[in-house]
Structure 1
Amino acid sequence: MKASRSGILDPLLGLITLLLFWQLAALAMGKPILPGPATVLPLFFQNLFGDLGLHFLASAARVILAIVMAVCTAAPLGLILGQAPRINALFSPVITILYPVPKIVFLPVIYVLMGISDISKIFLISLILFFQILVVVRDEAASLTPELIASVRSLGAGRRALFRFVYLPATLPAILTALRVSVGTAVAVLFIAEQALTQWGLGYYIVVETYQILLYPEMYTGILAMGLMGSLLYGLIRIIERKLAPHLFIKDME
């Protein structure tokens, strides 16, 4: 019960502290470039049911589609590489080279090859998540001992049973952890990708519709919406973790 109350109170206290420092900084600066939360928050809730909400939905749709695309491609490939040492030896040097490279540098190449569209933006975000998921799933799958798999096979388990009772339970926590860790990076890349050559999205709203025409209070509502989207995605992944991998949730709480 204490842990539950702490889990609720800690974010609330953190939010109150952040708003307090924000208001004090706004009063100390005394310039339009930094309006306080007393100005921004009412405008945020008002605009969230207008154009800001539509920009929010456009950005959220891109991120969610990118997550689905990355999981559906990286997880099966990671399982294959983890359980097939010869194939892993072939692809491992390429993964080692590409994994640490900031994927945002591929944005011009993706635009040239795929055109400037929602598909190219979604692909860029999924590319970031892809390598995060691929590496952790591969490592988790490789850690499964042949004896464990052989023992399950000896009980008459086929490929479906192996996937359901061995591979999926072993790799699902790794997938969720990778998503939770990389969701912030994905949102940051989305912000960069949406700054130009589009009409909908929080990146476009923050840079083009507000910052460039000096609408500073509205600009901060967009920043709040971007933060809200990242927090909601993070929270959603945590909820899924709690349902499907409760031991990870309990470990983090401890």
Structure 2
Amino acid sequence: MNLLKKITKFPTLYGILSVIFMWQLLSLALQSNVLPTPFKAITSFITLFPTILYKHILVSIYRIALALSISLLLGISLGMACGLYPTLDKLLSPITYILYPLPKVAFLPLFMIFMGIGDASKVTLMVSIIIFQVLIAVRDGIKEIPLELFQSMKTLGLTPIQLYKHLVVPAMLPKLFSAIRISLGICISALFFAENFATSYGIGYLIMNAWSMVEYPKMFAGIIGLSLLGLILFKLVDLLETKCCPWLKK
């Protein structure tokens, strides 16, 4: 019971140490250069980070941040419009349900033809993934608001801005943060794939380039960087949710 309390007190540290422990066991069992020990990979990460690794990570962060900003701006706007206006929802929902399940990665060649091989096509790929998650989450969060609450707010004489601030936004925020978490995982995977084409910067490029050059410690240094990037982004989302949704605290 005491051990369980300590684990729950430092869950991130527990998760990291558990992964390193399993990684070490697997590396000892396989005895292959393809899977270096955690010590070699972490040493490689520490050595490469100040020289080249940080540049690749910063480029990937830039692409993710830009895609997320565009997706939130468009997705929240469309989601709120669909949630508040049923007629608009009837027009957009059929299109959303057709486009949302499609594997967006398949459209990367098309994006590259029309938008070039630079950041635009990679960012567009991520936007095409995130925007539908955000739109549906925001729309569903607003639709779950009982009609009686809208009527009560109007009876109290609240202005449209106050209605959004005290009812609409708090109702859709928890679902929005859940959508962002799910989207980030898929988004990072899509970015890894996109950064293997016509680019010389990005964490995906570094990993696959190291693999092709048979530099496995460098490859795992990139994987560690990608993992830390995902962990930091998830923790930031958790922190924002705690600040924006204090009523969710247990």
TM-score range, shorter chain: over 0.9
8 Å contact kept, 1:132–1:182:
yes
Residue 143 to residue 21, structure 1, CA distance change in 2 (3 Å): closer
Match of 1:186 in 2: 187
**C-alpha distance after superposition, 1:140-185 (max 9, x if no partner):** 1122233322321232222211221111111111111110122111
Match of 1:151 in 2: 152
Match of 1:248 in 2: 248
Match of 1:233 in 2: 233
Partner Cα distance (2:41, 2:7) in 1 = 28
**C-alpha distance after superposition, 1:13-62 (max 9, x if no partner):** 33222212212222222221111011111111121112001101110111
Q: Secondary structure, in 3 states, of the residue corresponding to 1:33?
A: coil
Partner Cα distance (2:249, 2:183) in 1 = 18
Compare 4-13 and 21-30 and name the one that shifted more. 4-13
Partner Cα distance (2:127, 2:17) in 1 = 34
Q: Secondary structure, in 3 states, of the residue corresponding to 1:49?
A: helix
Q: State whether structure 2 residue 242 is matched by structure 1 residue 220.
A: no
8 Å contact kept, 2:207–2:223:
yes
Residue 76 to residue 36, structure 1, CA distance change in 2 (3 Å): same
Shift of 1:230: 0.7
Partner Cα distance (2:140, 2:5) in 1 = 33
Partner Cα distance (1:99, 1:85) in 2 = 20
Partner Cα distance (1:91, 1:4) in 2 = 48
Percent of residue pairs bearing the same amino acid type: 34
Partner Cα distance (2:162, 2:150) in 1 = 11
Matches within 5 A, 1:47-196: 47-196=48-197
Partner Cα distance (1:108, 1:123) in 2 = 12
8 Å contact kept, 2:57–2:225:
yes
8 Å contact kept, 2:7–2:14:
no
Partner Cα distance (1:95, 1:113) in 2 = 22
Shift of 1:249: 4.7
**C-alpha distance after superposition, 1:106-163 (max 9, x if no partner):** 2112112222211221121122111001011111112223332232123222221122
8 Å contact kept, 1:241–1:249:
no
Partner Cα distance (2:247, 2:181) in 1 = 16
Compare 17-26 and 72-81 and name the one that shifted more. 17-26
- TM-score between the two structures when normalised by the length of structure 1: 0.92
Gaps of 5+ in 1: none
**C-alpha distance after superposition, 1:196-231 (max 9, x if no partner):** 2111100111112x1111111000000111111111
Match of 2:20 in 1: 19
Shift of 1:195: 0.8
- What letter is aligned with 2:241? E
Partner Cα distance (1:180, 1:29) in 2 = 34
Aligned residues: 248
Gaps of 5+ in 2: none
Partner Cα distance (1:101, 1:160) in 2 = 36
8 Å contact kept, 2:207–2:222:
yes
